[in-house]
Amino acid sequence: MHLPHRSRLLAAALAAVVSLATTVLVGGSAADAAPAQPSPLTTPWTSQALTGTPLPDYPRPQMTRPDWQNLNGEWQLRQSTTNDAPVFGQTLPERVNVPFPVESALSGIKRAANDNRFYLFYRRTFTVPAAWSGRRVQLHFGAVDWQATVWVNGVQVGSHTGGYDRFEFDITPQLNGGTNEIIVRAYDPSDTGGLNIARGKQVRNPGGIMYTPSSGIWQTVWMEPTPTSSIFSADLYPNLANNTLRVRVFTRGDVTGHSVLAEAMDGTTVVGTATGGFTEFSVPVPNAHRWSPDDPFLYNLRLTLRNSGGTAVDQTMHYFGMREIGKAVVNGRLVLTLNGQFLFQNGVLDQGFWPDGLYTAPTDAALAGDLQKIKDLGFNMVRKHIKVEPQRWFYHADRLGLLVWQDMPSMGEAPGTAAQHAQWETEVGQIVDEHRSSPALVTYVAFNEGWGEWSLSETTRVVNNIKAQDPTRLVNAHSGYNCCNSKGDPGNGDIMDWHWYVGPNSIAPSATRTAVLGEYGGLGMRTPGHEYSPNGQFGGYEMHTSSQVMTDRFVGLINQASGLMWTRGLSALVYTQPFDVEGEINGLWTYDRQVLKFDAARMRAANQQLIAASQRLNSAPPPAGKGITGPGGKCADVASDDVGGNNAAVQLWDCQISAYDQHWTWNGQTLRTMGRCLDIANAGTANGSLVQLFDCNGSGAQNWVAQANGSLRNPTSGRCLDSPSGGTANGTRLQIYDCNGSGAQMFRLAGGSPGATIINGPGGQCIDVAADDTGGNGAVVQLWGCQPYAVDQHWTWDGQALRTLNRCMDATGNGTANGTLIQLWDCNGGGAQQWVPQPDGSFKNPQSGRCLDSPSGSTSNGARLQLWDCNSSPAQMFWKN
């Protein structure tokens, strides 16, 4: 018998509906489901979950066989506070819908989270199809939280500890020719009972960022027949350097003299074959079609176990993707790569909870639907947070093209014992073994914010062990080591990972480790009628009241992340979070998956632009120039996203620092981007003449002069750059029109006119606008750490006013007294908006006779600026770089 490298009682005789193989596998049905209990929220799939056999889909997509039987459905249940001996041949008092956890509404039980009946006894009967005669019968469990013991016809067939990985037992010796009985005893103490176990965010008193437990069976239970000598599992590793697939096959039974024929297939066409034994061998994949988020191409693999005479005794179907994850120096910094190229990993922190099924999605369509929603919003990565999903979830990520970071489910905060640590490490190894052939899975995350971490030196050892177990993937040693209960930076692994709310922020990469922001964002908004816990204890890290403001804020955060990518080498970003969860209302979608809180098109465009900018860095440096902000805070943009040929439309669009076609340079006459000039189509001079990009030719149609009022005038026509009717929608095509000083004609480079710059103040801090680049009327003007990528820190001075974000620095309420606070406001030419640089480095407001000042000389982030008697102190030293 050749079993996998780690001791795991796992089913590797795995099967699933592999769409590549176009094989439809149909299992036998289980008993009808019991009625569900009412749920605080229902998803679009709640009503479908129990219409027949729950989750009838083949549960093992990475390895398929044609015959199987689904055992989901109504089981009998008894709950107990004590570890009783099982009673055989007797009906149990309750009915539960397997595989939904007993705390969920879909289970039909919906017990309280703090129920102290930690022992769950499940019972059902089954018959074995007559066609399976002469073969071994394997009983599979997708996952049982946390400890399971299984009896068949009164005989204990095995036990398993660990709530996040699959296991199986050969039950052939215990079967009879008729009706058979299964008893499962599940023990789940969650965060009580004196045990420190891998439980993730499950707690018996949920609230804040901790949630309801999912006790007992929570993934599919099923059976399959196998030959006496059979394939148990296969590890698949692509090798792009020589266009091969590395294969290692594990078996059960006596395989003396046996061999394995491996056939790589494009659809049903064989493209490469090899024969090997039970050590690693390679299968050629000529001209390999590479897997990526943009092109998630999957090959099929057919494995045939043959005896010494060459006769096939077992056959399984698998799939694989030809891709390689790594690190490389790009733009002078170490970054994450996919297939040898920098690809910014822009993801979400997905916790995998459901209001109706808790840990268990109501249907397979729901499971896939979550990933599709994330993909549709322009993200290319999912960080699966402190939970491990069923194999079908990984299959959907593989076929949709979403990169996966897999967190290891954490233990609790208590220190734990050596035995508990060892058990946790065993479970980690089993998780790695189970999912190591998924092409989407690119990174393992060992620890998060210190949860369950017992010592820094042990963290280093654990990380090294994970890397040794699977050296083909990256290891993120500790996500958020700058936060919370972390023991600190372990110094090893492939990634340095900060958490920063609302963010973004980033450490710089080292020579051996890339830099990522493992959590940021958390923007929240109430959605009455779609809240699981309307009086919950935790909303979000920053609350808003409208979709437009939420979207504006998100686009601003992505802009800042783009700057961090260029200036500090940030490689990845993980937004908290795609869906509300219980008391948390900081999801992109509501917990019931019914309401999207953001503008989907704008979010998708911002996400995709950031990813595209990272890909351009593989062949070109970051662009020169600055953004031109126009009406509504939108930027001058070239249609067709960075292609910008002759006659390309120049339009307004959300400002995106990562967009090459939004970076303009001005030489006193022409405005240039992407090697061409801002041009009036057909050299027009009439009102309404459209503006485009065209080869620079020195003509009058390409001359632009910055005016004191903030407009850009074309001298040849005598007219100004203009947004028709003051439009601010994405895609508004720009034109020339009679100069009128209106908001429709306010265009400024990098937040102001050509030459905008950062203004340093006390302590080297910069003049900044609160609310990060959204800057409406009344926005606070303050000191903050200088950020070259922050649009709201770029100011222009026209001899009177200081401008950014299309508004002016203003003394609140037209005030003149000491202590009058400074804000941003629509430019109006008033005395409250006049600022004159003084020889000593201060800015004086002539109307009040007082100077711009930091109270008491404060240099803290967020210090609000004011007016004060001019005194030449450091508190009043502001100068233009």
Residue 28: per-residue pLDDT? 39
Residue 413: per-residue pLDDT? 81
Q: CB under 8 Å to 515, separation ≥6 — which residues?
A: 495, 496, 498, 506, 507, 508, 509, 568, 569, 570, 571
Mean pLDDT, rounded, of the chain: 91
Single residue among 225, 241, 258 that ends a domain in this structure: 225
Q: Which of 676-690, 743-757, 778-792 has the lowest mean pLDDT?
A: 743-757
Tell me if 357 is assigned to some domain: no
Claim to verify: residue 122 and residue 188 sit in the same structural domain? yes
For residues 550-561, average pLDDT:
92
> Residue 628 — very low, low, confident or very high, per pLDDT cuts 50/70/90?
confident
Residue 706: per-residue pLDDT? 84
Residue 707: per-residue pLDDT? 84
Single residue among 201, 225, 249 that ends a domain in this structure: 225
Residue 537: per-residue pLDDT? 63
Tell me if 516 is assigned to some domain: no
Claim to verify: residue 41 and residue 187 sit in the same structural domain? yes
Claim to verify: residue 162 and residue 86 sit in the same structural domain? yes
For residues 719-748, average pLDDT:
93
Claim to verify: residue 27 and residue 98 sit in the same structural domain? yes
pLDDT in tens, 342-356: 999 999 999 999 999
Residue located via tokens 């490469």: 272
Output the six-digit token pair for 518.
């493992």
Tell me if 123 is assigned to some domain: yes
Q: CA angle 425-427-429, nearest 5°?
A: 70
Residue type at 22 in one-letter notation: T
For residues 209-213, average pLDDT:
94
Question: Which CATH number is 94's domain given?
Answer: 2.60.120.260
How far from 549 is each of 289, 544, 599, 776, 843, CA to CA, in Å? Answer: 42, 7, 10, 11, 32
Residue type at 302 in one-letter notation: R
> Residue 774 — very low, low, confident or very high, per pLDDT cuts 50/70/90?
low
Output the six-digit token pair for 422.
């060892």
Dist. CA 50–CA 37, nearest whole Å: 11
Question: Which CATH number is 662's domain given?
Answer: 2.80.10.50
Domain count, the chain: 3
Claim to verify: residue 669 and residue 729 sit in the same structural domain? yes
> Residue 798 — very low, low, confident or very high, per pLDDT cuts 50/70/90?
low
Output the six-digit token pair for 627.
């953004």
Dist. CA 677–CA 201, nearest whole Å: 55
Tell me if 832 is assigned to some domain: yes
Q: CB under 8 Å to 299, separation ≥6 — which residues?
A: 20, 245, 264, 265, 266, 271, 285, 289, 319, 320, 321, 322
Q: Which of 28-32, 582-586, 590-594 has the lowest mean pLDDT?
A: 28-32
> Residue 10 — very low, low, confident or very high, per pLDDT cuts 50/70/90?
very low
Domain that holds residue 84: 19-225
Residue located via tokens 């035995």: 419
Cβ atoms of 113 and 206 closer than 8 Å: yes
Burial 2-19 (b: 16+ CB within 10 A, else e): bebeeebbbbbbbbbbbb
> Residue 30 — very low, low, confident or very high, per pLDDT cuts 50/70/90?
very low
Q: What is the DSSP string of 618-684?
A: TTSPPPPSB-EE-GGG-EEEETTTTT--TTEEEEEE---TT-GGG-BEE-SS-EEETTEEEEEGGG-
Residue type at 731 in one-letter notation: G
Burial 473-507 (b: 16+ CB within 10 A, else e): bbbbbbbbbbbeebbebbbbbbbbbbbbbbbbbbb
Q: Does residue 33 or residue 608 have the better pLDDT?
A: 608
Q: Which of 114-128, 479-493, 527-541 has the lowest mean pLDDT?
A: 527-541
Residue percentage of the chain with pLDDT more than 90:
77
- How is the beta sheet containing 299-306 ordered, strand by strand? 269-276, 259-266, 299-306, 312-320
- 345-350/381-384 β-pairing: parallel
Output the six-digit token pair for 463.
């990380």
Q: CA angle 206-211-216, nearest 5°?
A: 105
Cβ atoms of 411 and 197 closer than 8 Å: yes
Dist. CA 629–CA 803, nearest whole Å: 11
Tell me if 335 is assigned to some domain: no
Claim to verify: residue 731 and residue 791 sit in the same structural domain? no
Query: Cis peptide before 286, with omega less than 30 degrees from 0?
Result: no
Least Cα distance to 497 among 573, 607, 564, 385 occurs for 573
- 523-525/514-521 β-pairing: unpaired
Dist. CA 692–CA 647, nearest whole Å: 5
Claim to verify: residue 172 and residue 207 sit in the same structural domain? yes
Q: Which of 213-222, 225-234, 465-474, 775-784 has the lowest mean pLDDT?
A: 775-784
Tell me if 470 is assigned to some domain: no
How far from 542 is each of 500, 503, 576, 790, CA to CA, in Å? Answer: 13, 11, 11, 19
Query: How many other CB atoms are there within 10 angstroms of residue 544's CB atom?
Result: 18
Claim to verify: residue 189 and residue 40 sit in the same structural domain? yes
Q: Which of 248-252, 485-489, 563-567, 786-790 has the lowest mean pLDDT?
A: 786-790
- 216-217/136-141 β-pairing: unpaired
How far from 791 is each of 25, 126, 241, 525, 870, CA to CA, in Å? Answer: 55, 66, 43, 25, 29
Q: Is the pLDDT of residue 340 over 90?
A: yes
Tell me if 765 is assigned to some domain: yes
Cβ atoms of 71 and 30 closer than 8 Å: yes
Single residue among 723, 749, 775 that ends a domain in this structure: 749
- 441-448/474-479 β-pairing: parallel
Dist. CA 581–CA 40, nearest whole Å: 12
Q: How many helices (H) and strands (E) does the chain have?
A: 6, 56
Output the six-digit token pair for 498.
């900060």
Output the six-digit token pair for 868.
């004060």
Considering only CA atoms, give the Rg of the chain.
31
Claim to verify: residue 725 and residue 769 sit in the same structural domain? no
Tell me if 120 is assigned to some domain: yes
Residue type at 498 in one-letter notation: W
Claim to verify: residue 694 and residue 818 sit in the same structural domain? no
Task: Categorise residue 773: left if φ over 0, alpha if ψ from -120 to 50, beta otherwise.
Answer: left
Q: What is the pTM of this model?
A: 0.82
Claim to verify: residue 66 and residue 199 sit in the same structural domain? yes
Dist. CA 393–CA 56, nearest whole Å: 14
Q: What is the DSSP string of 81-104?
A: SS-PPP--SS--SEEEEETS-TTS
Output the six-digit token pair for 99.
């595989």
Claim to verify: residue 745 and residue 761 sit in the same structural domain? no
Dist. CA 793–CA 756, nearest whole Å: 9
Q: Is the pLDDT of residue 677 over 90?
A: yes
> Residue 536 — very low, low, confident or very high, per pLDDT cuts 50/70/90?
low
pLDDT in tens, 138-159: 999 999 999 999 999 999 999 9
How far from 444 is each of 131, 431, 520, 856, CA to CA, in Å? Answer: 42, 10, 19, 48
Q: CB under 8 Å to 482, separation ≥6 — which residues?
A: 498, 499, 500, 507
